[in-house]
C-alpha cells in the first residue's frame, strides 16, 4: 500500500514513478521530456536517463540507488545524495510522483 507524498518527504523508503503528465523520448542515450502541465521541455544526461528508465515503473528509492550503484562507479553516500537530489528536482517539475511506502 502507498500514500501520496510530496518532494520534501522523499527518502530511500519512498516509492517513485514517472508522472502520467509527461511524454519522453530517448535521444542517443539521453532523454528529452515534455511536461504536459507546464509545457516545458527537459533534457536528461546519460545517468539521468538511466534513472528515468527505472522510474517508468514504480520503484523504491533504495532499489533505484542500488541499481545505479551496481551500474556506475560511485560511492554509496554520494550516490544516495545525488539520486535524492535528482528525484526532488523531477518532483518539483511534476515529472514524477512520490509515494511513501506504508
Partner 1 sequence: MKAGRKLPRSTISSVRVTSRSSLSSEIQLLLLTAAASPNDAALRNVLSAGINWQRLCALAAHEKAASVLLRQLGRVGVDAGTSGYQDLRQLATISVMQMLQLEQLLHQTVDILAKQEIEVLLLKGAGLAYTAYSSFADRPMGDLDLLVRPQHANRAWSLLQTRGWKLPEAQGGVDRFTGHHHLPPLFHESGASRLEIHENLLPGEHPFVFSTVAFWERAKRVTANGQVFIVPNSMHQLWHVCVHFAWSHAMQWGSWRTLRDSAAIIRHGGFDWTEFASLARDTRAATCCFWTLRLTRSLAGADVPDHVLASLRPPYPEFIIERLERHFVSSLFPSEDRCPSVWVTRWLWEAGIAPRWSKHGAARPWQVTERWMAGSGPAESERAGGHTLAGWFRKIGAGAAYLLRVSRLSLPVNS
Give me the residues that bind partner 1 (CB under 8 A), please: 20, 23-29, 32-34, 36, 39, 41, 43, 46-47, 68, 71-74, 78-79, 82
Q: Where are the beta strands (DSSP E) in the chain?
A: 2-4, 14-18, 22-27, 30-35, 41-44, 59-60, 96-101
Q: Residue 14 CA to chain centroid, in angstroms?
A: 11
Pick 33 or 96: Cβ nearer partner 1: 33
CB atoms within 10 A of CB 65: 22
- Least distance CB 68 / partner 1 (angstroms): 8
- Least distance CB 41 / partner 1 (angstroms): 5
101/1 Cα distance (integer angstroms): 7
Pick 20 or 102: Cβ nearer partner 1: 20
Pick 11 or 35: Cβ nearer partner 1: 35
Amino acid at each position: 500500500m502507498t500514500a501520496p507524498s510530496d518532494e520534501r518527504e522523499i527518502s530511500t523508503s519512498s516509492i517513485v514513478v514517472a508522472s502520467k503528465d509527461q511524454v519522453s523520448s530517448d535521444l542517443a542515450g539521453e532523454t528529452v521530456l515534455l511536461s504536459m502541465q507546464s509545457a516545458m521541455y527537459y533534457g536528461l544526461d546519460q545517468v539521468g536517463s538511466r534513472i528515468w528508465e527505472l522510474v517508468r515503473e514504480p520503484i523504491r528509492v533504495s532499489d533505484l540507488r542500488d541499481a545505479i550503484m551496481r551500474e556506475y562507479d560511485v560511492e554509496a553516500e554520494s550516490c544516495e545524495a545525488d539520486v535524492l537530489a535528482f528525484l526532488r528536482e523531477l518532483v518539483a517539475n511534476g515529472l514524477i510522483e512520490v509515494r511513501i511506502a506504508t
